Structure 1
Amino acid sequence: MKILLDEIMEQRNISERQVSDLTGLPRSLVHEIRRGSRPRIDTVEQLAKGLGVKMRDLMESEYL
């Protein structure tokens, strides 16, 4: 499963700090996710909620 955070950030022209502010997640965690770290499902949910997208829009998987 790949998290599509880079694509959303590019589309919206927002920084890691802005994602952190919107989601309440530490900027260091946002950075780790962008670099390929696999977040827990509750973290994906927090990202989706903060960014105003569906969880499935944040994830790339052959099973979704």
Structure 2
Amino acid sequence: MIIIKLAQIRYLHNISLRELEQLCGIGKTTLNNIENDKISPTLFELEKIAIALKIKIEDLYESDYK
């Protein structure tokens, strides 16, 4: 199972959904749905988020297979 840690990482970086939306170009609603596990992000979306937050893609999720 893969758990996306976007909300935790945003909190650590002190960044709002709106700010992240502007940085990565992914809509606020989509980001919110990713955080609330309503949708699974694509690899492209994970890459855009990681670049915007200046972190590795691997830092965005927890997995038994990591």
TM-score, normalization by structure 1:
0.91
Which residue does 1:20 correspond to in 2? 21
Q: Deviations over 1:4-63 (max 9, x none)?
A: 101111112211101111111111111111111211111111111111100000011011
The alignment partner of 1:48 has SS state of helix
Any unmatched runs of 5+ in structure 2?
none
- Residues 1:54 and 2:62 are matched in the alignment: no
Which residue does 2:46 correspond to in 1? 44
Any unmatched runs of 5+ in structure 1?
none
How many residue pairs end up in the alignment? 64
Moved over 3 A (4+): none
Aligned AA (1:25):
I
Identical columns (%): 31
TM-score, normalization by structure 2:
0.89
- CA offset at residue 3 of structure 1? 1.1
